Chains A and B, each alone.
Chain A
Amino acid sequence: MPDFDSGHIFLTTMAPIKGPSGNNTHTSFEQKVRMALVKLPTALQSPATKGIGLNSPFSRNTRTHLARMFVLNDAVYNGRVGSNPLLNMGENLTQLQHVDQLNCSYLVFCADIDAVTDDGAPLPKVMSAAKQKEVRANYARKLWDTMELELQDIYSNCVGFEDVDTADEFAAYLEKCHVQTTMPFHDYYLDLPKFNDLPVKLLVGAVLVPAVVALLALLLRILGYLDMPWLGWSSLWTFIGAAIVTALALGWAIWYANQNGEKPLPPAKYDDLPSVLKALYMQQNFANFAIEQQGATAEDLHASFGAFLDRHKPSDKTGPTQTPGVISSAAMAQSD
């Protein structure tokens, strides 16, 4: 499964962190990345982070649903590869096995973003590889424009970042670090879409029918029938022909299943970040409105609801709305 699914890009990038050479400060670049990351404010999602008052720099754009940066020090070592002691009695257990290692530490940056080049644009159902690349580059430029200082603080400890001074160069850099993954993290559909169901019966039939013919022909041949009953064809050639068709059908069925699996699912309704924020904003304000209007007369309710619609503009996702990176609109009001 590629990075693109349900109208989102599930971005994964790995930037190699510089090794020890030429660093005369007693502090490793890995440590410097960790220090830059630990200073990066998180979103205002808990009492502790709300108290700091500094929001995550990723909240400066309205495309990022989730973002995570961390240091991947090395591949996790899980001990010797075990084997069946009876089958492998000759194995020399005193011989150390090779231990897989990364060639260096990496800064991993993952993000779940709207697959658009304009904030709030409708989410696409399908997207070509070239267009995906453009979306990634556009997002990288957006990050550079909104959080250049933070990015420099973090990425200056990574290999090859010395030449990055502009948004375009950062986009090119991040593209080099891009890793295609199969691990989307995502929110929910309001209405289930039409899934790309596999036509299992058709696929099984396409393989089984020639397979049964092949087996039958083989059985007849073994029992001494040189020709197929009624049809009169050579049972040997029937077997060979049907076996070839079976193999082809099997290959096709596997290819088809893979292709089907790679098809992205369509985006959910209201699944772009501005819509999500607007929905959160409306939910909270409408709940307050409903409580305030308990016991109101029909006329008053009608008038108030008109005022509510005027004030909160439910159909306009550009505003008023909830700021990115806060736990509630009330929290936003407090931190303002």
Chain B
Amino acid sequence: MTRSLNLNDIQGNVLRAYGRYSFPFARYFFLNIAKPHQGRAFVDAVRQKVTTSARWPEQAEKPDCTVNIGFSFQGMLKLEIRQRTLQTMPLEFVEGMKNRAFILGDRDNTKIEEEAEGWDAHWDPLWRRNRRGDGNDSNNVHMWISLNAQLKQPGGDQPVDALEEKTAWLRDLCAKSDDGVRILPGIGRDTPDLDYLQASAVFDDVGGVKVPTPKEHFGFADGIGDPVFEGQYPADVEKTAVIGRGKRMDGKWEPIATGEFILGHPDESQELPPAAVPPEFSNNGTFMAFRKLHENVQTFDEVLTEEAENYAKINDIPLIEARETLRAKMCGRWVDGVPLAVVPTYDEWLAFRTRKGMDDPDPFKAAKAQYDYLKSPEASDFRYADDMACVKCPGGSHLRRVNTRDYLDPLNAFGTDPKTGKPHSNPKATSALNKRRRVLRRGLPYGASDPKNNTDKTQQGVAMMLMGSSLFRQFEFVQQQWIEYDLDFHQGNNTCPLLGNHDHHKRHTIASDPASVRQPYVMSKLKTFVECRGGEYFFIPSMTALRMMAMGIVDPT
């Protein structure tokens, strides 16, 4: 691609995972529009503060606090976007996440609709009241607004004041809207009045100094291998960023086509992704699934401990080794983010950590070493086609499900290469059957990080945002076929050991290298560790479309 993207037209959260650009705090607001006219005025006011993808600092100043906005289908209907545009919106977006619960595995899909009545009882009140289908629109979620804030001071764990100022600004806009727009309360089960989801990176306390970490509440380093697409980075950055994060073609890593993530650009099948008309409305926009994913940290710890004791006994290894190994085999990375595909065994991992300086006695140096490693292409530069037997990284592990890399290339050979006596390395494997299933992951953990006191009942998890030009083809497919099902990985009905629902399927198979003395192991007591507490599908319009929505005119200029 020779022509650069119009970054000023694309919202900033599409190109950037803010958490990785020194914005460790976020607030997510969900709003209802009661009056279309006031709704448009509100959108017009917010539009002028929206953070775009323009590069910092050469194209735009880096803000202390970013602003981004998205709309549910119901919100677009309420804003009186013309019918011709609305009726060309994708079906899954029109239906909304709640109505897709069966597909997504958010509701028990062994139950028929009558039996599943009340399946969303564990959702936040905000999301339970959304899309009831009773004709009452006053509690429906129409808009999503996110504020992402920088750190006030290095070493602290407080956001810049701009976060509170922008919050006050939003409240003020609502107050001035003559009851036309309101922020919806009901975030969290026990906090009926809470009207925003506060998210923040998990901070480590190092001798009183607070250090933001890439961890989520189970302790895994998260958000490492986000896809890289054409036009996302300047050419010099792209060269390294693309390694392990683009698509693999002819033994090389290349950026994924822009149209997989941004509407109006050619995608991997060399088509324009289907989008609502007119093109000026859809171009440079995208779709986003917002999911509040609660983490049952207590259950996770209990199950892990029980399985680890068993695993340690069978293999006659120390409990700590069993624990760390099982964690890694569930995720696909060791807790610090080092991929199993590169460093498959516990001993190698310990040696690797030492070599990289991650065990430095100075905790700051250690944290810096880990940070540098995760930012480097090395953390993403690996493949699965050379491990078709899954002895390094289990076939059902979280990582192999959400990004299958070159594993699904239909030409990959299984078994042992008679020439070398080793497994086939399939050097020419491509990202076929994977490159059209990628999603941009955005978001941050929410809830207090207090491993000693956190239980299943305390509020903690990840505010997850998944973006792509087709929710159906990308997010929903990955969720349904790869997270909640396992046929593509030859593991039957097993679900993702971390994200999957384990009401019915509780197993995770860990293969073992036949050359090693280690036994294969099947975890069999998995419980549901991550459960969705609500969410919705949003359209993330371009700046052009936002202006059209604010003006109430979808015009062809």
Contact = CB atoms under 8 A, between A and B. Distances in A.
Interface of A: 19-21, 23-28, 30-31, 34-35, 37-38, 69-71, 73-74, 77, 79-80, 94, 96-97, 99, 101-105
Nearest to B7: A20
Given A24-B59, A77-B272, A37 B8 contact: no
B266 interface: yes
Contacts of B272: 77, 79
> Which 3 A-B pairs rank lowest in CB-CB distance, beginning with the nearest?
A28-B8, A37-B557, A80-B270
Given A35-B547, A71-B557, 16 more contacts: A19-B4, A20-B59, A21-B59, A23-B54, A26-B54, A27-B8, A34-B280, A38-B551, A38-B553, A74-B3, A94-B249, A96-B257, A97-B270, A102-B3, A103-B3, A105-B6
Given A26-B8, A28-B8, A77-B266, A70 B51 contact: no
Contacts of B3: 74, 101-104
Contact of B60 (A19, A25, A31, A102): A25
Main secondary structure on A side of the interface with B: loop
B61 A24 contact: yes
A26 B270 contact: no
Interface string B42-71: 000000001110100011110000000000
A77 B547 CA distance: 25
A38 B545 CA distance: 13
A34 B432 CA distance: 39
Contacts of A94: 249, 430, 432
B59 A34 contact: no
Interface string B1-19: 1111011110000000000
Most buried by A among B8, B59, B257, B279: B8
Contacts of B54: 20, 23, 26
A20 B271 contact: no
B551 A24 contact: no
Given A31-B544, A79-B272, A94-B430, A20 B52 contact: no
B9 A31 contact: yes
B275 interface: no
B555 interface: yes
A140 B1 CA distance: 36
Contact of A96 (B7, B270, B279): B270
B543 interface: yes
9 contacts: A19-B4, A20-B54, A24-B59, A26-B52, A27-B543, A34-B547, A38-B551, A94-B249, A99-B266
A79 B557 contact: no
B271 A28 contact: no
Nearest to B59: A20
Contacts of A19: 4
A28 B6 contact: yes
B429 to A, nearest CB: 12
Nearest to A73: B283
Nearest to B5: A20
Contact of A70 (B6, B59, B556): B556
Nearest to B49: A26
Nearest to A79: B271
A20 B270 contact: no
B432 A101 contact: no
A28 B556 contact: no
Contacts of A20: 4, 6-8, 54, 59
Contacts of A37: 557
Given A38-B553, A102-B3, A24 B60 contact: yes
A311 B273 CA distance: 62
B343 to A, nearest CB: 31
B50 A26 contact: yes
Contacts of A70: 556-557
A104 B551 CA distance: 26
Nearest to B3: A101
B389 to A, nearest CB: 26
Contacts of B6: 20, 28, 30, 105
Contacts of A28: 6-9, 543
Nearest to B55: A20
Contacts of B556: 70
Contacts of A31: 8-9, 543-544, 547
A77 B1 CA distance: 13
Contacts of A25: 60
Given A20-B59, A31-B543, A104-B3, A73 B8 contact: no
B6 to A, nearest CB: 5
Contact of B270 (A30, A71, A99): A99
A256 B140 CA distance: 70
Contacts of A38: 551, 553, 555, 557
Nearest to A101: B3
Contacts of B51: 26
Contacts of A97: 270
Most buried by A among B7, B51, B58, B557: B557
Contacts of B257: 96
Nearest to A17: B6
